[in-house]
Structure 1
Amino acid sequence: MSLVKLSIKGISYSQTQNGAYALILNEVDGERKLPIVIGAFEAQSIAIALEKEIKPPRPLTHDLFKNFAERFDIVVKQVIIHKLVDGVFYSSLICERDKIEEIIDARTSDAIALALRFNAPIFTYKNILDKAGIYLKSNTAESDSGAQEIDDVLSNPETFGREEESNQSGDVYSKHSLQELNDLLDQAVSQEDYEKAAKIRDEISRR
């Protein structure tokens, strides 16, 4: 079976399952998307790894795993989403130490969070993408029609690609100066409120 390389498109909140998020993966050499529902903690960990400028004051679980692995010269070479059964994705970490390769079973959300931290590529098999991948009729997922197609697949998530702040929170942050926003960002990170920190970072990026 041939492997298909994937990249991370983003994360969106899923209304179909309370407290769950939809991780959207892109087919690198194609147009299909692979949506995977993940938990809030894993979504937060992936979002932090994607947002390079947000650094937690203490290591999260996936950061701890990376620090532990590096201390013992273990490298995550790649992640493979290798099975889909009853709507559940199964993944493996392909690790290497002293030129010896080991395969470790992992939840897909954990595997992707670690892949980001090790800069490891993510793959799935063609038959899995054929079964669970979706095509967008529009040219870009960010367009209204593209977002609607993702909404239909994921039973109307609030956003596509990344979680957007509500208009109310946007109005609140828009009233702050850039210095105040940076102070609020530091405070949110120190309190480990990374969801709030991401929203503040979005407002800073718009300035």
Structure 2
Amino acid sequence: MLEVEVANFSISPMGYALILKPVHQRRVVPMFIGAAEMNAIANAKDGVKPERPLTHDLASHLLKEAGARVEKVFIHKYNDGIFYARLFLELNDAVQGMKISEIDARPSDGVALALRFSAPIFMAEHVYELTSVEPEQMIEPAGEAVEEDLLDEEKESLINALMEELNETVIENAPFQSRLDVLKQKLGQAIQTENYEEAARLRDEISNIENEF
């Protein structure tokens, strides 16, 4: 089990990527996530507190009010393009005292909450070996420009922008239009669940159909 930290953000043709790096390793793990989750992680990493609490801010407030805290996050599995994580909560039980509860969580949600509790983030070694790349392989480091873009609440989310772009093309052929609608719906679902390998496949299939016209 390796302790990892949020090293940077990156942009790729698939969208925003969270870059996780083990404390004493060179290779990094890119994890594609939604714009809202990236915003939440960037806020927590930079100590930015929005005027109104966002989803992860509200979740952390509720945990604190209930006497609970995030102890750690463990990214333990990678399968078919999807990362899986476990969130460990320290709960104050009136009968048993302090106890640890373990629940499933998306890695992006786990990281966003862990940062708000200054809790460590861990990754299984086999997941790291399977998904890590050299830093030079990253397409485009994000840096300050991307973080500023993420923190601008007036910016449209990456997902909405992608779906709007896909919906701009009007195809008169009904069978193809029906098929495109189904594919676009599946693409939206793949992005929402952070299954970016499936999203890439669907994106290519959509492009192939649109290029026929």
Q: TM-score, normalised by structure 2?
A: 0.64
Q: Indicate if the aligned counterparts of 2:11 and 2:142 stay in contact, CA closer than 8 A.
A: no
Question: In structure 2, what is the Cα distance between the partners aligned to 1:26 and 1:126?
Answer: 12
Match of 2:27 in 1: 32
Q: Which residue identity does 1:12 align to in structure 2?
A: S
Q: Which residue identity does 2:4 align to in structure 1?
A: L
Match of 2:11 in 1: 13
> Residue 88 of structure 1 is aligned with which of 82, 87, 94?
82
Task: After TM superposition, give the deviation of residue 194 of structure 1 in Å.
Answer: 7.6
Where does the alignment leave 5 or more consecutive residues of structure 1 unmatched? 137-145, 152-158, 170-188, 196-207
Q: Give 1:94-105 correspondences, 5 Å limit.
A: 94-98=88-92, 99-105=98-104
1:35-77 superposed Cα distances (whole Å, 9 cap, x missing partner)? 100001101111111122x321111100000100000111100
Q: Indicate if the aligned counterparts of 1:56 and 1:192 stay in contact, CA closer than 8 A.
A: no
Q: Indicate if the aligned counterparts of 1:34 and 1:132 stay in contact, CA closer than 8 A.
A: yes
Which of the pair has more CA radius of gyration?
Answer: 2
Task: After TM superposition, give the deviation of residue 12 of structure 1 in Å.
Answer: 1.9
| 1:150 matched to 2:148 | no
Task: After TM superposition, give the deviation of residue 10 of structure 1 in Å.
Answer: 1.5
3-state secondary structure, aligned to 2:59: helix
Question: In structure 2, what is the Cα distance between the partners aligned to 1:71 and 1:84?
Answer: 33
Question: In structure 1, what is the Cα distance between the partners aligned to 2:142 and 2:121?
Answer: 18
3-state secondary structure, aligned to 2:75: strand
Match of 1:47 in 2: 42
3-state secondary structure, aligned to 1:65: helix
1:139-191 superposed Cα distances (whole Å, 9 cap, x missing partner)? xxxxxxx3xx212xxxxxxx3153626xxx9xxxxxxxxxxxxxxxxxxx8x8
CA RMSD of aligned residues (A): 2.1
Q: Indicate if the aligned counterparts of 2:76 and 2:124 stay in contact, CA closer than 8 A.
A: yes
3-state secondary structure, aligned to 2:145: coil
Structure 1's 45 and 133: CA in aligned 2 closer, same or farther, altered over 3 A?
Answer: same
Q: Give 1:53-202 correspondences, 5 Å limit.
A: 54-98=48-92, 99-136=98-135, 146=136, 149-151=137-139, 159-162=140-143, 164=145, 192-193=153-154
Q: Indicate if the aligned counterparts of 2:8 and 2:142 stay in contact, CA closer than 8 A.
A: yes
3-state secondary structure, aligned to 1:164: helix
Structure 1's 194 and 5: CA in aligned 2 closer, same or farther, altered over 3 A?
Answer: farther
Q: Which residue identity does 1:6 align to in structure 2?
A: V
Deviation >4 Å, runs of 4+: none
3-state secondary structure, aligned to 2:110: helix
Q: Indicate if the aligned counterparts of 1:24 and 1:36 stay in contact, CA closer than 8 A.
A: yes
Question: In structure 2, what is the Cα distance between the partners aligned to 1:163 and 1:128?
Answer: 29
Q: Which residue identity does 1:57 align to in structure 2?
A: E
Structure 1 or 2: more helix by fraction: 2
Question: In structure 2, what is the Cα distance between the partners aligned to 1:133 and 1:161?
Answer: 18
